[in-house]
Amino acid sequence: MEKIGLAQIWSYIDFRESWEIGFAVLPEYSGKGYGGKAAELLLKWSFEGLGAHKIVGMCNAQNIASSSVMERIGMTREGIFRGELMWRGQWTDQYYYSILEKEYTLK
């Protein structure tokens, strides 16, 4: 089996029943929908399998592809962490996204 990237989920805040998702696709596989499909599956597992109340995700403000994926799967950009991440030798902003269970079930 060929590896094309990663998808992960971890407990963000236990007592709030919140989980954080993350996904990355190797450059040679980007633009083919794999990141979006991985993110959709993470949401499905989080809400239907784990009983999550809220899912969050973050991405570098320069990462337009990840930002687009999170918006496409129904997540809302809630904020910007300014100067949050050292990337390519400079501090860059990080976008913070979330989706609530009640929003997911509307899809």
| pLDDT at 17 (0 to 100) | 86
Query: pLDDT for 31-48, tens place per residue?
Result: 999 999 999 999 999 999
Q: How many CB atoms lie within 10 A of CB 44?
A: 12
Query: pLDDT for 66-102, tens place per residue?
Result: 999 999 999 999 999 999 999 999 999 999 999 999 9
- Residue boundaries of the structural domains of the chain: 5-104
Global confidence as pTM: 0.89
pLDDT of 106 > 70? The answer is no
Please name the CATH architecture into which domain 5-104 falls.
Answer: 3-Layer(aba) Sandwich (3.40)
SS3 state of residue 13: strand
Give the pairing of strands 76-87 and 54-60: unpaired
Name the pLDDT band for 12 (thresholds 50, 70, 90): confident
